Amino acid sequence: MLTILNLTKKFGKQEVLKGVDLQVKKGEILGFVGANGAGKTTTLHCITGLEEQDGGNIVINNIPKTHETIFKKQFYFIPDTFHVFKNISAYDWIHFVLKLYEKLDEEKLDYYIKAFEMQKSIYKPMGTYSYGMLHKMALIAAFTISPPIIIMDEPLNGLDPFAVLVFKNCLKDYVENGGTVIFSTHLLDVVEKICESIAFLKEGRIVLHESVESLLLEGNLETTFMEIQANEV
């Protein structure tokens, strides 16, 4: 599904990614974990094209990143920071995105608008939205498009308890229908409750990629994280 081989990235003289290797299977929910500055967001930005890597290869569904248009239709990315056109309604923006993906489905869109209880606010300008509302808007777009992979940076930021519950249910349905998820987070309890597998990134390298179930048999994710941080790369 998603294959990353020897991914490298520098910002000036600082080497942020030092050869990231990762494979994510179809139907997998992968939690991407690491300390601040480990390179999580940079890795996601390289996958999605927001940053150009210095080296390495990224392939989704046997489609290399170099095939830009078809490659970008293999995923939908939800960042941790939203930059929006403040005078455009969320409904019009989602419509525009759905057309880009050639996935305009009014019935499906209406279902997710109602699921996240956005019926009254979906026609308002995005400049009036809180961060949580912008996040729900992005989730509505992602689940309506239902691409092969949904990529998220801190997926629960800004969501109220009801929206978190809706998100988990939508995620479950999406994966059961063949979707794949990769998201970065600092919240290990979220990984424990949602993810099938976890990848630990340290100093620009993947140092462990394992099933959550197997790690929990040995203890808990917090202990594993602290042990990884204490060890030399």
Contact 54, 9 (CB under 8 A): yes
In which domain, by residue range, is 187 found? Answer: 2-9+21-217
Domain of residue 37, CATH code: 3.40.50.300
Residue 190: inside a domain, yes or no?
yes
Residue 127: inside a domain, yes or no?
yes
pLDDT digits (tens, 9 = 90+) for 169-207: 999 999 999 999 999 988 888 888 889 999 999 999 999
Residue 232 has a pLDDT of 61
Q: What type of residue is 187?
A: L
Residue 197: inside a domain, yes or no?
yes
Residue 41: inside a domain, yes or no?
yes
- Distance CA(151)–CA(183), nearest Å, equals 6
pLDDT digits (tens, 9 = 90+) for 68-90: 889 999 999 999 888 889 999 99
- Distance CA(184)–CA(164), nearest Å, equals 16
Give the count of domains, the chain: 1
Residue 228: inside a domain, yes or no?
no
- Give the model's confidence band at 233: pLDDT under 50 very low, under 70 low, under 90 confident, else very high: low
Residue 111: inside a domain, yes or no?
yes
Q: Is the pLDDT of residue 128 over 70?
A: yes
User: What is the average pLDDT across 121-135?
Assistant: 95
Model pTM greater than 0.85? yes
Nearest 5°: the CA angle 80, 191, 39 is: 50
Residue 225: inside a domain, yes or no?
no
Q: Report the percentage of the chain scoring pLDDT > 90.
A: 76
Residue 227: inside a domain, yes or no?
no
**Across 45-49, 89-93, 214-218, least confident range:** 214-218
